[in-house]
Amino acid sequence: MDRVAVDALNRFSERWLFYRGLVHWAGFRKAAVDYDAPPRFAGSSSYSLTRMFNMGLDAVFSFSLLPLRVSHVFGVICMFSSMLYGVWAVAKWMVTSTPVPGYTSLAILVTFIGSLNLLTLGIVSEYVGRIHEQVKGRPVFLIKESIGFEKRAASDASDTAHLETCDAA
């Protein structure tokens, strides 16, 4: 990576940085460099399957809200499934005048309330996901180059120095 890309990536204040994803997210130009890796001189890789799995989880959780939305979707599916099962059980009872064997009403009630819990959890997770995105502190955009702003940047630096001396007093 060149200095511009490294400096841009060093500005991120996230705790779990997934650099492969951040380089792609930042939009820097990429080029592949083919090389033949020589065989390992001694020992074996210390990067275990568990560490690779954790890195994959970091990639998913750093760049996607999909895991939070899964409970929401699953709750909606379960709720409609329990409603359909309830309609079917009532229709069978009305047509044949025999109830569905077992604890039909209890099963319908438990699945419906469980699906409402998942739906509510999904709604809360949407808010948590948005908070998570905000707290990461990623810049909205990265500026590759600025032209004609050198004078303004110097005056901003002097204003900042003035504020720091006022705060210290």
**Chain segment 55-106, per-residue pLDDT in tens:** 887 777 777 777 777 777 887 888 888 888 888 888 888 888 777 777 677 7
In order of 57, 77, 113, the CA distances from 119 in angstroms are: 24, 9, 10
CA 120 and chain centroid, separation: 19
Q: Can you give the pTM of this predicted structure?
A: 0.47
Query: pLDDT grade, residue 9 (50/70/90)?
Result: confident
The mean pLDDT of 37-65, rounded to a whole number, is 81
pLDDT for position 44: 82
DSSP E strands in the chain: the ranges are: none
pLDDT for position 134: 74
What distance in Å separates the CA atoms of residue 153 and residue 164, rounded to the nearest whole number? 16
Residue 38 has phi, psi (to 5 degrees) of: -70, 155
Amino acid at 53: F
Please determine, for residue 118, whether its predicted confidence score (pLDDT) is greater than 60.
yes
Please determine, for residue 169, whether its predicted confidence score (pLDDT) is greater than 60.
no
